[in-house]
Chain A
């Protein structure tokens, strides 16, 4: 296990269907306003659903115009917006070009510049690919958001880009902590983002996983997921580094557990073995007992298989009685499933929940299905918390699982 180097969270940034900064997001979230509505970024004709958690407040161009990043994709702009907010809160912005020189970037994404690539393919089919401006697909690789953020912020430390489906940005946060603990860097800007695009929308429709109504994670009547978009980014620093420069830690990142189901490409293992192993590993590596976790931000997609599997996995780790006392929020009911960005988005939500000692509600939840574990889903209204430790779960295609654990700042 890593030598125990403490890691502070000193800045948070978020953009999603509920708002383009943490203040607007949080006020909307605790008031239970849903961000899922009609999607107009592409034609959903023939799909079972026509809704998503689309970002309506476009990224602030003043924020993303810094640096000389050209041709930024929608995902790039989301990540840049959230990153600027996070470094500003951390007190790292405006400190001259050297303030972030040693910081690294670790971002996850899955769709990245896909909307731009879709236009390129459409026009290529119409006009011939030989006539297409190839520069329009420069932002397609999932490494592009990290490159754009690094260039904008002048971050010269390690750079990692993760594309492990829906665990991408949760793993990015965990691996950022690994790099800090291995003394590669004093701090990392970590998280991730993704954008809505026809490719994923049609793909999930083909897999019959879209709910025509806003998703209702863990509810007995759930019919599938609602897609979303945005970015969630945080500044992680070696604790002493943060304190020495006068920063105020917002929370502490303890550790993470990462596993793989090794079972099926698109379906979780029915016993939730990989999910429960990730949660158990995160607890063990954080030096915690299951009874110390006071809040869980669940993966909670709203699909039949994910929610039933995750519920069983949570019960396996926390026990039949334990799950009755842990308030659980499924944030995807608020802003949809941000795919590769969801782990970053939900990690930011979890840290905000710990800071405010308040769990946002899970929209649409009314009752659990027969035979499902009796989870304590926060529904209807936000719930006051009284806890020190929280967990955020992310599970993805390919059987990848990742659980993150944060604690309140002392």
Chain B
């Protein structure tokens, strides 16, 4: 089985393009975004902080004629993949120098809400104007795997192409599936990560459902490669994907968060054990914003990592942000400063009870 490493990171977040803005925001420790007010049922109003991605121009990355056929989420994901591609030192798609044939390049996207804006718009039109007037463009862009389909076309990635959804934990689920795909020889390179954009109707609905008071948008794409391939092309290695673990809490209602600290601890322990690096230097916690769930998470972390510093990116970027992708990006960046026998662990829980964890360790010596 191949060892898997992270060689490229691309992000589109509240601070703009690139990972520098993520690191700065985390260092400053202040919540991003601004307060928005939403109507909820029975005439109540609720204030929510929302960290939205900064307006951006995708034209330097994607030709205008193609942008007209892409919804905003597809644009954001495709640009993040291109940034990661470039960050990994890979040449432009189609270049004869690209070290991997198209068939060896996979795509694994994780998203909780997916193409919700296109879906709402399509449904509104459909409801107002009838089935016979359905807009074929909006329909095809409302299909949840449209972003991964578009990025595969732009980057000529003809390997496995998969869109996973596990609510807030989607990016970690996608990274785990991508890493398994490389380990199992299904691909040599994978673009993977998380994506979440929040149209106002989605935030209004989440507000009415009692979501925590701070939501965030964003997108992160990572380039994963086999260690062997990365070394052969002398790529910069941020981190090794060393340990994966997943489980779930079946007692958790399908619209609730797990409060089972023992189950959470079990998943964290398995990720660390599988990494073979018991020296965990930092833990990125999920911090959903729901009191009982977060208390359980803190207990789990204290039980498994009594001495490791704890980071909660959602306090800066909001929950949902990049569906846990920001934690992955920040952990991968930070892991580049670790030795190969030290690790960081990322926890990602989803509402409905999904539990995912990944341990990243420093670049191989």
**Residues in chain A within 8 A of chain B (CB atoms):** 1-3, 42-47, 68-70, 101, 104-105, 110, 117-118, 121-122, 125, 128-135, 137-138, 141-144, 146-148, 150-151, 153-165, 171, 175, 178-179, 181-182, 184, 198-203, 205-207, 258-266, 273-274, 277, 281, 396-400
Contact = CB atoms under 8 A, between A and B. Distances in A.
B350 interface: yes
A137 B163 contact: no
B183 to A, nearest CB: 8
A155 B127 CA distance: 38
Given A143-B166, A159-B248, A164 B153 contact: no
Interface size range of chain B in the complex: 35 or more
B173 A258 contact: no
Given A159-B166, A159-B246, A163-B164, A144 B132 contact: no
Given A156-B247, A159-B353, A397-B146, A260 B107 contact: yes
CB-based closest 4 A-B pairs: A46-B132, A398-B149, A130-B39, A203-B139
Contact of A202 (B134, B167, B251): B134
A134 B208 contact: yes
A47 B126 CA distance: 12
Nearest to B138: A203
A164 B131 CA distance: 24
B180 A264 contact: no
A113 B130 CA distance: 20
Interface residues of A, dominant DSSP: mixed
Given A130-B43, A141-B112, A203-B134, A260 B158 contact: yes
B95 interface: no
B103 interface: yes
B185 A175 contact: no
Helix, strand, loop or mixed for chain B's interface?
mixed
B135 A206 contact: yes
26 contacts: A1-B185, A2-B183, A45-B131, A46-B131, A46-B133, A130-B204, A134-B40, A146-B352, A155-B250, A156-B247, A159-B353, A163-B145, A171-B162, A178-B184, A182-B244, A199-B122, A203-B136, A205-B131, A205-B134, A260-B157, A260-B161, A262-B161, A264-B153, A266-B140, A277-B158, A400-B149
B230 to A, nearest CB: 20
Interface string B156-200: 111111111111000001000100110111100000000000000
Interface stretch (B21-29, B252-260, B281-289): B252-260
Contacts of B245: 184
A69 B201 contact: no
A397 B141 CA distance: 10
A46 B40 CA distance: 35
Given A143-B350, A397-B140, A400-B149, A150 B123 contact: no
Given A161-B164, A202-B134, A207-B139, A263 B153 contact: yes
Contacts of B126: 118, 198-199, 202
B292 interface: no
B250 A134 contact: no
A61 B274 CA distance: 42
A6 B107 CA distance: 27
A198 B123 CA distance: 9
B354 interface: yes
Q: A70, A163, A396: which has the most chain B beta carbons within 10 Å?
A: A163
Contacts of B146: 265, 397-398
A207 to B, nearest CB: 5
A46 B132 CA distance: 5
A160 B166 contact: yes
Given A117-B123, A125-B127, A262-B102, A164 B162 contact: yes
A241 B148 CA distance: 36
